[in-house]
Structure 1
Amino acid sequence: MSRVATARSWSIPAPARTAVLALGVQSALALAYLLATDAGLAAPTMLAIPFVWLTVAVVAVRHADRPTVGRPGRWIAAAVGAAYVLGLAWLIGAVGPAMGPATGVDLVLLPPGWGPVLRFSGVGVAFTLVPYRAAGVLALGYLVSLSVRNVVEEGLSAGVGGLVAVGSCAGCALPLVTSLAGALTGAGLSVGAAPTVGGGTYVLGTAAYVLAAWLLAARPLRRYTTR
Structure 2
Amino acid sequence: MIGRGRRSRFLVSVCGLQAGSALVYLLATDAGLAAPTTLAVPFVWLTAAATAVRVVDTPSVSRRVGVVAAVVGAGYTLGLAWLTGLVSVSTGDAAELHLFTLPPGWGPAVGWDGPFVAARLLPYRVAGYLAVGYLVAVAAAETLAGHESNGTGVCSAAGGAVAVASCAGCSLPVVASLGAGLGSAGLAVGGLGLSTYLLATASYLLAVAALVWRRRLARWLDGLLARTSPS
Pairing 1:209–2:201 present: no
Q: What residue number does 1:3 align with?
A: none
Match of 2:66 among 63, 74, 79: 74
- In structure 1, distance between residues paired with 2:25 and 2:134: 27
Identity %, equivalent residues: 42
156 and 29 in structure 1: CA distance in 2 versus 1, 3 angstrom threshold: closer
Q: List runs of 5+ in structure 1 lacking aligned partners.
A: 1-10
Q: Please list every run of at least 4 consecutive aligned residues from structure 1 whose deviation after the TM superposition is greater than 4 angstroms.
A: 224-227
CA distances 1:113-157 after superposition (whole Å, capped 9, x unpaired): 111111110112100110110010000000000111110222564
> TM-score w.r.t. structure 1 length?
0.85
Please give the alpha-carbon distance, in whole angstroms, between the structure 2 residues aligned to 1:177 and 1:130: 9
- Quote how far apart the aligned CAs of 1:190 are: 4.2
Q: CA contact under 8 A between 1:157 and 1:225: conserved in structure 2?
A: no
- Counterpart for residue 222 of structure 1: 218
Match of 2:177 in 1: 183
In structure 2, how many angstroms separate the alpha carbons of the residues matched to 1:47 and 1:131?
13
The one-letter amino acid paired with 2:108 is P
- Show CA shifts across 1:22-71 (max 9, x none): 11110001001111111111111111111111000010000001011101
In the aligned structure 2, how far is the partner of 1:43 from the partner of 1:215? 30
- How far is 1:165 from its partner? 2.4
Relative to 1, partners in 2 of residues 1:60 and 1:156: Cα closer, same or farther, differing over 3 Å?
A: closer
Letter in 1 for 2:217: L
- CA spacing shift, 1:182–1:122, aligned 2, 3 Å: closer
Question: Residue 200 in 1 paired to residue 195 in 2?
Answer: yes
The whole-number CA distance in structure 1 between the counterparts of 2:53 and 2:148 is 23
> 1:154-165, aligned counterparts within 5 Å?
154=146, 157-158=149-150, 159-160=152-153, 161-165=155-159
Determine the structure 1 residue equivalent to 2:126.
134
- TM-score under structure 2 length normalisation: 0.84
Q: In the TM superposition, what is the alpha-carbon distance from 1:194 to its structure 2 partner?
A: 5.7
How many residue pairs are counted as aligned between the two chains?
A: 215
The DSSP-based 3-state class of the residue aligned with 2:31 is coil
Decide whether the 8 Å contact of 2:162 with 2:204 is kept in 1.
Answer: no
Structure having the higher Rg: 1
What one-letter code is carried by the residue in structure 1 that aligns with 2:82? Answer: W
Distance 1:104-1:120 versus aligned 2 partners, 3 A rule: same
C-alpha distance in structure 1 between counterparts of 2:178 and 2:40, whole Å: 19
Letter in 2 for 1:207: A
Q: 1:177 to 1:109 in 2, by over 3 A?
A: closer
Q: Give 1:30's aligned residue.
A: 22
Match of 1:8 in 2: none
